[in-house]
Amino acid sequence: MNTEKLDFLTEKAKEIRISTIEMIGNLGVGHIGGALSIVELLTALYNGIMDIDPEDPKKANRDKLVLSKGHAGPALYATLADRGFFDKSWLSTLNAGGTMLPSHCDMNRTPGIDMTTGSLGQGLSAAAGLCLSNRMSGIDKRVFAVIGDGESNEGQIWEAAMAASQFCLDKLTAFTDYNKMQIDGMTADVMDLGDIEGKWASFGWDVQRIDGHDIEAIFNTVEKADVETDKPSMIILDTVKGKGCFFAEGNLSNHNMAFNSTQAAEAIALLRKENKYGNA
């Protein structure tokens, strides 16, 4: 990736991160931690990786994303608004009565959302179904899924893992947002995922592991995941929950956190001061 493109995407990720903090700050409470940990991933997916058309969000021949950890919706909304799926003014309506942007992703409300999610554990199965649907229709497109590390406590994730391998869903690329935290504490303390790479490999998946905040690495691994094998791909993203928001980052209570617009403004001011190397 050339420096110009990387700079452009780094700046874009920063703006999406700022929008995410702003929209949750306006509301006063929200899932800031798990939203901020996938900002670089969403930035990369919707700005160069996925074949999508903001003018025609439901076109049949497109790549799709299932955000199985549906509570990270705000980060995806900021990404979709930035990409032109809907007007940025919508972002201030997060969770307002009658909004098109509910806390958890809803395909019937928000342009660009490919699957309704929110009950953890279900999205990977739906992503497998989308792949099978494409296969039945001869559509040669990719399906991406993002699952959480806490979400991986759910048994259905592993049912879907077995099925995707059994059905040779090579067009399925899933990401685990491995931020090492869940609501009640560190994943290692609540429900340890152990050898996460080994687990997915033993379920028959191609596995890669990268720094989930490294945009260039995301592009490279997603490209590698598309090489012709008959296996689905899992990319483990080592991430930081609450990344880039000084009062949320690394804070064990950042899963669904209350903060006001003044705090949000402080966090945003700090982000704006940062240079491209992340130094203020």
Partner 1 sequence: MGMRETYTESLIRLAEKDERICLLDADLRVGHGTKPFYDRFPDRAINCGVAEANMLGIAAGLAAGGKIPFAETFGCFAARRAFDQFFISGNYAGLNVKLLGSDPGVTAAFNGGTHMPFEDLALMRAIPGLTIVSPCDPYSLGELMEPLAYSDGCVYLRMPRKAEQQIYMGNEKIELGRGKVLKEGSDITIAATGFVMVPEALKAAELLDKDGISAAVIDFHTIKPLDTDLIEEWAGKTTMIVTMENHQKSGGFGGAVAEHLSSTKPVPVFRIGIEDRFGQVGTEAFLKQDYGLTAEQSAPLIRDFFYKLK
Contact residues for partner 1, defined by CB under 8 A: 60, 66, 106-108, 114-116, 118-119, 121-137, 155-156, 159-160, 162-163, 166-167
Contact 103, 31 (CB under 8 A): yes
The CA distances from residue 78 to 20, 89, 146, in Å, are: 6, 10, 16
Q: How far apart are CA 57 and CA 161, in angstroms?
A: 28
Q: How far apart are CA 48 and CA 67, in angstroms?
A: 18
| Cβ neighbourhood burial of 98 (10 Å; 0-12, 13-18, 19+) | exposed
Q: Residue 200 or 219: which CB sits closer to partner 1?
A: 200
User: What is the smallest separation between the CB atom of 119 and partner 1, expressed in angstroms?
Assistant: 4
Q: Residue 35 or 115: which CB sits closer to partner 1?
A: 115
User: What is the smallest separation between the CB atom of 245 and partner 1, expressed in angstroms?
Assistant: 29
Q: Residue 136 or 227: which CB sits closer to partner 1?
A: 136
Q: Residue 62 or 88: which CB sits closer to partner 1?
A: 62
The CA distances from residue 21 to 12, 26, 78, 103, 155, in Å, are: 14, 9, 10, 14, 32
User: What is the smallest separation between the CB atom of 195 and partner 1, expressed in angstroms?
Assistant: 23
User: What is the smallest separation between the CB atom of 106 and partner 1, expressed in angstroms?
Assistant: 8
